Amino acid sequence: MHPKFTPLVALSAAGACLLSSPVFAQDTLSPEEIAALRAEIAGLKAQVQRMESRLDAASGIQRTAPAAPVAIAAPAKPASAEITWKGSPVISASGGRSFKAKGRIQADVGYVDAPKALADRGLGYAAEMRRIRLGGEGGLGAGIGYKLELELSDNTVDLVDTFVTYKAGPWLLALGNQNQFQSLDELTGDTSGSLMERAAFTDAFNFERRLGLSAQYEKGPWLVQAGLFADDITALANASDGPAGGDENNSYGLDGRVVYAPKIGKTQWHFGGSAHQRQLKRVGDTATRYRQRPYVHTSNSRLIGTAALPVRQETHYGLEAGFVRGRWHGAAETHWLDAQLKTGPDARFFGGYAELGFFLTDDTRGYKSGIFERAKPKNPLGGGGLGTLQVNVRYDYLDLNDRSIVGGTQDAWLAALIWQPVEFLRFNLNAGVLAYTDATPLPNGDRDYKARVAGARMELDF
């Protein structure tokens, strides 16, 4: 036998002796016996190591130190996403990437109490699903963002905010279907406005989202917005091109808005102005009407409105003012529209409003980037309170008369009670009195009369 194997044989023999010893013949070992066996085995291992060292020295063998274990790199940890909550889950990852689902539900009931002699089936009581909106927004990194929303309203599905953005410092560029910076009340979201419907002039003057490219600069109290726009998505569709089809809608417009919003002491101020010019170039469809509902969308009746006018160009401009101070807030706007006609004298129309609001709870109205935002209840329902309770009053005026064009005037005195139990849910109660001149005539020819309106809305927005 090779002498190198002698220690191993000895250790094996010793182990065999131990295993055959009376101790291992027992079914169980006591702790003392286990400790004695471990000590004996350790002694045998030490003896074997000494014998191997002597053997190596006698044979001239030099043993090298065992190689250090190879370090195995831990697998790369995958990029983690953070999920927060803002009405719906917001998924955020590194590099400015994010996604948030968006949605809106608004259900209305309304009542218009107008002279019975009008015999208008659009008056009286009605209910509707005002809006159902679904979409999402997020970021792709490198300052690039996006927003896509589809809305079901008036039994049709339309694109709402649908655009791509690029943000670099104070600059924000947007390309797609978007608002055109028309007025404070128009740009303020319909789920954070003071009443169920916006100021009368915003609908009467056909404010709407349009396809275009815009730029915005915001720094300190200053906000400057401008854009070049085509027309709304519906007007650009092939179905709107007439029986011959083709790209017949060549309308375009230039819009701009400037806001100065300093915070002085405890008061957030808002001062702004906007200007707009639009060339109407719809082949075969140049008739434009300016008209308005009786302040509830559940009615499709228009008690005031112009006839179809051959408008070739619109120029309009407006002034804005507002404030937020603690529980109080207010706003006022004026807006003029000059309609240049292809035939006949040009026309100028006017609209404006003034409002004041107060929170009965210890809350305040939100304001950011040149518009009002929703309130955030300090004591929401389920969190020790009942949410926010807000009252608003507004005087609203619209004049669609100018020389030979008689569209009528509307004076509205409106009030709203808004309960917001949690941040993303509101219940809105409205009531008002409308005084008309030169409105839809009664059978006896009278065009000056009053109407009373009431409405209620449930709105969920996330």
> Please, are residues 400 and 351 in contact by the beta-carbon 8 Å criterion?
no
User: Which pLDDT value is given to residue 58?
Assistant: 66
Least confident of 50-59, 114-123, 182-191, 258-267: 50-59
Whole-angstrom distance, CA of residue 291 vs CA of residue 308 = 10
Expressed as residue numbers, the domain containing 50 is 3-59
What confidence category does residue 438 fall into, taking pLDDT thresholds of 50, 70 and 90? very high
How close are the terminal C-alpha atoms of the chain, in Å?
86
Q: Do 449 and 329 share a domain, yes or no?
A: yes
Per-residue pLDDT averaged across 416-427, rounded?
97
Whole-angstrom distance, CA of residue 410 vs CA of residue 396 = 8
- How do the residues of the chain divide into helix, strand and coil, expressed in percent and rounded to 5? 15, 50, 35
User: Which pLDDT value is given to residue 374?
Assistant: 92
Domain presence at residue 95: no
Q: Do 341 and 192 share a domain, yes or no?
A: yes
Q: Do 273 and 414 share a domain, yes or no?
A: yes
User: Which pLDDT value is given to residue 156?
Assistant: 87
Domain presence at residue 317: yes
* Size of the chain, expressed as the number of residues it contains: 462
User: Which pLDDT value is given to residue 45?
Assistant: 76
Name the residue among 108, 107, 104 with its Cα closest to residue 455: 108
User: Which pLDDT value is given to residue 333?
Assistant: 98
Q: Do 290 and 418 share a domain, yes or no?
A: yes
Domain presence at residue 94: no
Domain presence at residue 199: yes
CATH number at residue 305: 2.40.160.10
Q: Do 184 and 49 share a domain, yes or no?
A: no
CA distances from 184 to 121, 196, 458 (A): 33, 15, 23
Q: Do 32 and 160 share a domain, yes or no?
A: no
Q: Do 53 and 184 share a domain, yes or no?
A: no
Domain presence at residue 66: no
Q: Do 331 and 435 share a domain, yes or no?
A: yes
Domain presence at residue 224: yes
Domain presence at residue 169: no
Q: Do 46 and 191 share a domain, yes or no?
A: no
Q: Do 32 and 121 share a domain, yes or no?
A: no
Per-residue pLDDT averaged across 412-440, rounded?
97
Q: Do 271 and 406 share a domain, yes or no?
A: yes
User: Which pLDDT value is given to residue 254?
Assistant: 98
Per-residue pLDDT averaged across 56-69, rounded?
59
Residue 67 confidence (pLDDT) above 70: no
Residue with the larger pLDDT of the pair 60 and 388: 388
Whole-angstrom distance, CA of residue 414 vs CA of residue 270 = 23
What confidence category does residue 43 fall into, taking pLDDT thresholds of 50, 70 and 90? confident
Three-state secondary structure call for residue 267: strand
Per-residue pLDDT averaged across 224-247, rounded?
77
Residue 298 confidence (pLDDT) above 50: yes
The per-residue pLDDT for range 321-374, each reduced to its tens digit, is 999 999 999 999 999 999 999 988 999 999 999 999 999 999 999 999 999 999
Domain presence at residue 12: yes
User: Which pLDDT value is given to residue 69?
Assistant: 54
Mean per-residue pLDDT over the chain, rounded: 88
Residue 385 confidence (pLDDT) above 70: yes
* Neighbouring C-alpha atoms within 13 Å toward the C-beta of 206: 21
| Total of domains in the chain | 2
The per-residue pLDDT for range 299-319, each reduced to its tens digit, is 999 999 999 999 999 999 999
What residues have CB less than 8 Å from 7, skipping those under 6 apart? 47, 48, 51, 52, 55
User: Which pLDDT value is given to residue 80?
Assistant: 73
The per-residue pLDDT for range 8-22, each reduced to its tens digit, is 444 444 444 444 454
Reported for 287-293, long-range contacts at CB under 8 A and 24+ positions apart, including other chains, are 288/206, 288/339, 290/204, 290/205, 290/206, 290/337, 290/339, 290/349, 290/400, 290/407, 291/204, 291/400, 291/407, 292/200, 292/203, 292/204, 292/398, 292/400, 292/410, 293/197, 293/203
Whole-angstrom distance, CA of residue 447 vs CA of residue 440 = 6
Percent of the chain with pLDDT over 90: 72
Show the CA angle centred on residue 354, arms to residues 335 and 400, nearest 5°.
40
Q: Do 186 and 272 share a domain, yes or no?
A: yes
What confidence category does residue 172 fall into, taking pLDDT thresholds of 50, 70 and 90? very high
